[in-house]
Amino acid sequence: MSALPLIAVVGPTASGKTALAVELALATNGEVVSADSMQIYRGMEIASAKPTKAEMRGVLHHMMGFLDPETPYSVAAYVRDAAACIREIASRGKTVIVAGGTGLYIDSLLTGTAFVETPSDPALRRSLEAQYDAEGGEALRKRLADVDAETAARLHANDKKRIVRALEVYLQTGTPPSRLSAESHNAPPPYRPVFLGLAFHDRAALYRRIDRRVDEMLRAGLLDEARAFFAGHAATAAQAIGYKELKPYLDGEVPLETAVDALKRATRRYAKRQLTWFRRNEAIHWIYPDACTPDAVLAQALAIIKAVNVCPDK
């Protein structure tokens, strides 16, 4: 079976991925599969920058808002569910457009670097989480590096969830997660993606867009959404950019301006990490929105897609 062609739109937060994905879907008879680890949850519409109905412009979007925030959800589960969406979309003769900024989702789905679906061990996981909290992230990341340098090199010391999961997989199977992943992907890759990346020559231009987005989120009701989310899903909210930075204000500990500044700084740091992640993918065709008009961004993207022929025959 030949690899399925598809389009992947990647890049940092606030770079214009959603708008470009929608334009491409309209131009190529496509549908969008989200690759965002926060947009999968219900009730996080504003904080996760989930596109509104107006922004979707009639384009079907998948892998959004289908999961309760308290439901555990692994990278392997995302790969499984997104793959099912992709097959269904392609079966209807539509172009598949994967769009998002969660690098691990993108890589796991499209380049075959997912952790395999190893059953979780809640007791072992709690033990590892306690060790992480007691010893620090760098200590556990180094412990992971001793048994799986490849996986450790991909993870930041602050990535508690994935460091713990990698160690859990190793301790359960006796095999490094990177080796398990490689062994599970010996078959020919199922997809033939063309990667379109959005970046900025002037990093300050991206940061200004981030600041504007945060201001727009606040006007749209982010404070009320955060307040409601903390009331029902405190554990998830405590990890989510857009909520955790606002908690000191909601608790009456700091002025709103201080919390908003913290949120903007955290989002800028997240964007920097996203860019660092995606820059490692040499297959990405980079487009720079700060160097051209939105129409030119779309024209460049369509030219790249045409050159590599990833759209189904109409």
Residue 123: pLDDT band by 50, 70, 90 thresholds? confident
13 annotated as belonging to a binding site for a ligand: yes
Helices (H), the chain: 17-28, 53-56, 75-91, 103-110, 122-135, 137-147, 149-154, 160-173, 177-184, 203-220, 222-232, 234-237, 247-250, 256-279, 294-308
**Which listed CATH number (3.40.50.970, 3.40.50.150, 3.40.50.300, 1.10.20.140) goes with 122-184?**
1.10.20.140
Instruction: Tell me which residue has tokens 């045409």.
Output: 306
Residues paired with residue 286 on neighbouring β-strands, in sequence order: 197
Give the model confidence (pLDDT) of 134-152 as tens digits.
999 999 999 999 999 999 9
Of 153, 75, 157, give the one whose Cα is nearest residue 118.
75
151 annotated as belonging to a binding site for a ligand: no
Tell me, what's the pLDDT at 182? 61
Whether the pLDDT of residue 58 is over 70: the answer is: yes
User: Where are the domain boundaries for CATH 3.40.50.300 in the chain?
Assistant: 4-112+189-308
Tell me, what's the pLDDT at 118? 61
Give the model confidence (pLDDT) of 94-103 as tens digits.
999 999 999 9
Residue 181: pLDDT band by 50, 70, 90 thresholds? low
161 annotated as belonging to a binding site for a ligand: no
pTM equals 0.79
11 annotated as belonging to a binding site for a ligand: yes
The mean of the pLDDT values for the chain is 90
235 annotated as belonging to a binding site for a ligand: no
Distances (CA, A) of 167 to 71, 117, 143, 174: 21, 14, 8, 10
174 annotated as belonging to a binding site for a ligand: no
Mean pLDDT of 266-286: 94
Q: Coil, strand, or helix at residue 148?
A: coil
137 annotated as belonging to a binding site for a ligand: no
Q: Coil, strand, or helix at residue 100?
A: strand
Give the model confidence (pLDDT) of 189-214 as tens digits.
789 999 999 999 999 999 999 999 99
244 annotated as belonging to a binding site for a ligand: no
Fold designation for 4-112+189-308 = Rossmann fold (3.40.50)
User: Where are the domain boundaries for CATH 1.10.20.140 in the chain?
Assistant: 122-184
Q: For residue 278, what are the contacts with CB-CB under 8 A and spacing of at least 6?
A: 10, 11, 12, 103, 106, 197, 284
Whether the pLDDT of residue 114 is over 60: the answer is: no
Residue 10: pLDDT band by 50, 70, 90 thresholds? very high
Distance between CA 191 and CA 198 in Å, rounded? Answer: 21
